[in-house]
Each structure stands twice: as structure tokens, then as C-alpha cells.
């Protein structure tokens, strides 16, 4: 593989991961990315709550709630902008997005709480790694599922929302 090919691939990857910042990309791309990071951070907090207390001794509860709220926002906006919901009326799309975000986040939180007792209590790094791994697996599975639903949707000519462009 030549250097120019590697450079082109790196440039394409950068453009795919970090598109130009517009109001639409902030809501449809960057907020879901931040939400995914917060989902992982909250799972690491569930598996090892002492870390949050050490980092934020006074505001640990507020920070953990803000992380969970951002995770909800990210998942909700990710679902809101999916192609299979483009023809759905706006308020129904909001309702479906909120419902799916709450179900995903609290379902994954329930799974984390059920898995936590199965992990040895002494190893702090292991708990953090397992929390991040569980979150990554759940996010990957959710994306794969939504991609499958989108693939069954009839393609539309224009995937833009007029209000966000």
C-alpha cells in the first residue's frame, strides 16, 4: 500500500468521524458520539462508583446524573435522525426517540447492575475495563440493529431535515 493511499484513507476516516460542524451534524453526529462516550463512562461508574467520588468529591452525584442525561440525549438524537423514521410525523419521531433512548439506557443499566456482582471486587482496572466493554458491546449491538431496520426502509431521495439544515 502506498503512502498516498494511506493518506487518502486517513483523510476519508477523519471526514467520516469528524464532519464539518453544522447544526445538523452537531445534533445528528457529534451529540450521539458524546452520548456514546457518556454511556461508557456511566457503565464504568456503575462498576466502580469510588472513581467518581475520588474525581469529584463534592459533586459526584450531579456529575453522574449529568453523564446519564447526556447518554439519554445522545441515544435519543441518534434514533431521531435514523432514515427509518424520516416519514414519521415529527412528534411521533420525538416520542419514539425518547422511548428508545430510555429503554436502551435503563435496560443497559439494569444489565450492568445484574452483571456487577459476578465480577471480583478487588480489581478496580478490571471492573472499569469490563464496564467499558459491556457498554461498547451494547452500543455496537444497538447500532447493528438500527442499521438492519434502516436497510429494510425504502430509500428516500433526500435524507435531510429542512428544519436542521
pLDDT tens, residue by residue, 125-152: 888 899 999 999 999 999 999 999 999 8
In a domain, 165, yes or no: no
- How much is the pTM? 0.85
Exposed, middle or buried: residue 74 (CB in 10 Å: 0-12, 13-18, 19+)? buried
With respect to residue 8, please indicate whether it lies within any of the assigned structural domains: no
In a domain, 30, yes or no: yes
Q: Say what the pLDDT of residue 118 is.
A: 87
DSSP label of 29:
I
* Position 32 in a domain: yes
2 domain residue, yes or no: no
Overall domain count for the chain: 1
The CA distances from residue 16 to 6, 13, 45, in Å, are 15, 5, 30
Answer yes or no: is 159 within a domain: no
Alpha-carbon distance 41 to 34, whole Å?
Answer: 10
- Structural domain containing residue 90: 16-152
Amino acid at each position: 500500500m502506498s503512502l498516498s493511499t494511506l493518506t487518502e484513507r486517513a483523510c476519508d476516516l477523519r471526514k467520516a468521524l469528524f464532519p464539518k460542524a453544522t447544526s445538523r451534524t452537531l445534533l445528528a453526529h457529534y451529540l450521539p458520539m458524546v452520548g456514546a462516550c457518556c454511556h461508557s463512562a456511566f457503565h464504568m461508574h456503575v462498576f466502580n462508583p469510588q472513581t467518581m467520588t475520588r474525581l469529584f468529591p463534592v459533586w459526584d452525584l450531579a456529575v453522574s446524573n449529568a453523564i446519564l442525561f447526556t447518554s439519554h440525549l445522545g441515544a435519543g438524537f441518534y434514533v431521531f435522525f435514523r432514515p427509518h423514521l424520516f416519514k414519521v410525523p415529527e412528534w411521533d419521531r420525538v416520542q419514539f426517540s425518547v422511548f428508545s433512548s430510555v429503554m436502551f439506557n435503563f435496560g443497559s443499566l439494569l444489565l450492568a447492575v445484574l452483571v456487577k456482582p459476578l465480577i471480583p471486587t478487588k480489581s478496580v482496572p478490571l471492573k472499569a475495563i469490563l464496564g467499558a466493554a459491556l457498554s461498547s458491546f451494547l452500543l455496537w449491538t444497538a447500532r447493528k440493529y438500527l442499521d438492519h431496520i434502516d436497510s429494510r426502509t425504502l430509500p428516500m431521495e433526500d435524507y435531510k431535515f429542512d428544519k436542521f439544515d
